[in-house]
Amino acid sequence: MEVEWERLLAADPELAGLFSDDADGAARWPTGSPRPSSWCVATSRWRIRRRYEPAERELYVETVLDSGLRLRGYVDRLDVAGSGDVRIVDYKTGRAPDPAFEARAMFQMRFYALVLWRMNGRVPKALQLLYLGSGEVLRYEPDEADLLATERKLAALWRAIARATATGDWRPSPSRLCDWCDHRPLCPAWGGTPPPLPAPDEAAQPGDAAAEEAPSPRTQDL
């Protein structure tokens, strides 16, 4: 890839700014110095891309569960084998998580797997998270039990959201991610005052289990 990059630079020197981490946009890579992080991500992505040829890219998927909950999202890459087996692939620009957090990272992939299973009746063969920052690959093979558990978890999450919407009881959950949250100044956990909530939907009043479980149709994106 570096040979091709040098050829492109010779034709258009302004391309150097594309992978610069310097404030002024200039590319300064002395011999032997590490490349900027953006360059490392791009080269990692290029190496991975050469090994696989996807059947679909940025594939929009959507399904409605029996509860009325609509699930939808975009799959980065979908590989389909000659046997019909499906592999769902997602790219992450950072580094692979600590093993203790792998299950949490894979939840997004189970979400996609559930949607595809409900769409075509076939459990995806494999799930892959490709971490471009470190070049690592996190793999998992789901089964029906996994996806049924994911469906139950999503239903429970949505019921909790419906209750919070109806009651106005939105409880903060502080974490280290708060340091990057634009809403922190408005968050009660940090001394802020949130804006007033809109009036709750009359079809989902507290205590109305049917309304809470199946207002039509609800949507959860990922």
Would the pLDDT of 76 be above 90? Answer: yes
CA 36 to CA 39: how far, in whole Å?
Answer: 5
What is the reported pLDDT for 145?
96
What is the reported pLDDT for 171?
87
CA 120 to CA 164: how far, in whole Å?
Answer: 33
What is the reported pLDDT for 150?
95
- CB-based contact 93:132 (threshold 8 Å): yes
Higher per-residue pLDDT: 86 or 94: 86
- C-alpha to C-alpha distances, 35 to 30, 42, 125, nearest whole angstrom: 9, 11, 36
| H helical segments located in 23-86 | 37-51
Nearest to 151 by CA among 78, 58, 80, 220: 220
Q: Residue 120 — pLDDT band, cuts 50, 70, 90?
A: very high
Nearest to 109 by CA among 144, 80, 133, 76: 76
Name 127's bridge partners: 88, 140
With the CA atoms of 143, 149, 151 and 156 taken in that order, what torsion angle do they form, in degrees rounded to the nearest 10? -170
Name 178's bridge partners: none
Per mean pLDDT, which of 12-21, 82-91, 108-117, 208-217 is the most reliable?
108-117
Nearest to 138 by CA among 189, 87, 187, 200: 87
Average pLDDT over residues 155-159: 93
Nearest to 211 by CA among 170, 171, 165: 165
Q: Taking all residues of the chain, what is their mean pLDDT, rounded to a whole number? A: 77
CA 110 to CA 113: how far, in whole Å?
Answer: 5
Nearest to 69 by CA among 201, 221, 218, 222: 218
CA 102 to CA 140: how far, in whole Å?
Answer: 10
Least reliable range by pLDDT among 21-35, 168-182, 189-203: 21-35
What is the reported pLDDT for 93?
82
